[in-house]
Amino acid sequence: MMGQEHLRNLALLPQAKAVAIYEPDASMLAAALALAPGARAVGSMEALIDAGDVDALVITSPNFCHADQLLAIAARRHLPILVEKPACTDLASVARLREMALQYSQPIWTAMEYRYMPPIAELVKQVHAQSATGPAVMLSIREHRYPFLEKVGDWNRFNKNTGGTLVEKCCHFFDLMRLLMQADPIRLFASGGQNHNHVDESYSDGTPDILDNAMVVLDFPGGRRALLELCMFAEGSRYQEEICVVGPLGKIECMVPGPTRFWPADTLGEPPVAQLILSPRNPAGPHTLDILVDPHLLAAGDHNGSTFYQHQKFLSVVQGLAAVEVSLSDGLSAVVIGLAAEHSAKTGEVVDLTQGPWALL
Ligand SMILES: NC(=O)c1ccc[n+]([C@@H]2O[C@H](COP(=O)([O-])OP(=O)(O)OC[C@H]3O[C@@H](n4cnc5c(N)ncnc54)[C@H](O)[C@@H]3O)[C@@H](O)[C@H]2O)c1
């Protein structure tokens, strides 16, 4: 699914093209080649890495493949890489990748599409400017959405393949928290469960074991805090993400619609438009700004146009014109926070993120 979104968005960039694809599933390969008719199929990842006409690699395999694939590339040929989140699924791989990154001579960008959704990019700009809120003190991110979709081989039904819901899905939000608060969290506590989704499903590995709802509270330096609220049986919502930042001067909210293709337009009409709501304390009162996204970009994916903007920036990195914005280290920090939250939800422990196994660098 995500690989095809990357191909649709690459096709919108005149200076980039997909030249070769490694995809072990025959029907997904056919679908990918249909989106990139100029590309050829190759039979192995090694053949892809060795191809002389390849200037950069995009990794969109299942989560559990990413670490080994990054390490295999590092051992064979250093090329610029855009790797889908999460960069890996366990703490041992975090350590291996941190070590690899020290030696890697080309840029590695972790795909964190949420940063590049136009309403969220505007929120980040406003929060960093501090004009509406002053320094951010409280941040909450609420995602209320549909259950996990079906994937090739049902890999996303089990924690061992994904790292757990708080890694797979929520690494995006922990990344946004680090970006918005301009700091690493120092401590977290999580509560989560699998109350409804996938409990009647059965696979060769058994019944899915993934969380479908959770709350995570994170402390940041300077007496600041953030909350993540995730619910994956709430697809009836008008907005999928509702992000709220409050500081001494006021509050900003960001309302982000879910994928356009899931909106019931036949009964409810046009899908909702992304919004920023600025609510200063003085003079008090909310002001709402609609954030419009180019309909061509909306149609090219499920992420409010963000995949296009991310590729535009990654292309500049490949051309040597810009620096990586979301490093492998950023991607690994988001994984560590997600794994720590999974651990906390399972054990009831508060996790220290400043030292020991969960230390963020
Ligand atoms: N950033 C985002 O917003 C976002 C959204 C969706 C998915 N993703 C990420 O994209 C990745 C793929 O997810 P998806 O939803 O497309 O899953 P998917 O199951 O639809 O696609 C995964 C594809 O990888 C192929 N594959 C399996 N083993 C492989 C291997 N060893 N090498 C190369 N390809 C292999 C499968 O055949 C399949 O076609 C995941 O890491 C997921 O977390 C990111």
Query: What global pTM score does this model have?
Result: 0.98
- Which band of pLDDT confidence, cut at 50, 70 and 90, is reported for residue 55? very high
Q: What is the pLDDT of residues 107-148, one digit of tens each?
A: 999 999 999 999 999 999 999 999 999 999 999 999 999 999
What is the mean pLDDT of the segment spanning 303-319?
96
Average pLDDT taken over every residue of the chain: 97
Distance CA 57, CA 267 (A): 42
Q: Determine the atom of ligand 1 nearest the C-alpha atom of 2.
A: 16
Q: Determine the atom of ligand 1 nearest the C-alpha atom of 306.
A: 3
Burial of 193 (0-12, 13-18, 19+ CB in 10 A): exposed
Residue 236, pLDDT above cutoff 90: yes
Distance CA 291, CA 305 (A): 12
Burial 122-145 (b: 16+ CB within 10 A, else e): bbbebbeeeebbeebbbbbbbbbb
CA neighbor of 301 nearest in space, from 18, 11, 80, 85: 11
Distance 151 CA to ligand 1 centre (A): 8
**Cβ < 6 A, ligand 1 pocket:** 1-3, 22-25, 28, 60-63, 65, 84-85, 111, 113, 151-152, 168, 303
Residue 213, pLDDT above cutoff 90: yes
Distance CA 109, CA 175 (A): 13
- Which band of pLDDT confidence, cut at 50, 70 and 90, is reported for residue 288? very high
Distance 99 CA to ligand 1 centre (A): 25
- Which band of pLDDT confidence, cut at 50, 70 and 90, is reported for residue 361? confident
Could you give the percent of the chain with pLDDT greater than 90?
99
Give me the residue label for tokens 């991607």.
Answer: 331
Q: Determine the atom of ligand 1 nearest the C-alpha atom of 152.
A: 19
For 114-295, CATH gives: 3.30.360.10
Distance 64 CA to ligand 1 centre (A): 10
Distance 233 CA to ligand 1 centre (A): 22
Please state the domain extents for the chain.
Answer: 114-295
What is the mean pLDDT of the segment spanning 89-103?
98
In the three-class reduction of DSSP (H, G, I as helix; E, B as strand; rest coil), residue 115 is classed as helix
Could you give the percent of the chain with pLDDT greater than 70?
100
Distance 104 CA to ligand 1 centre (A): 24
Instruction: Classify the C-alpha dihedral 23-25-30-34 as positive or negative.
Output: negative
Determine which residue's CA is closest to atom 37 belonging to ligand 1: 25
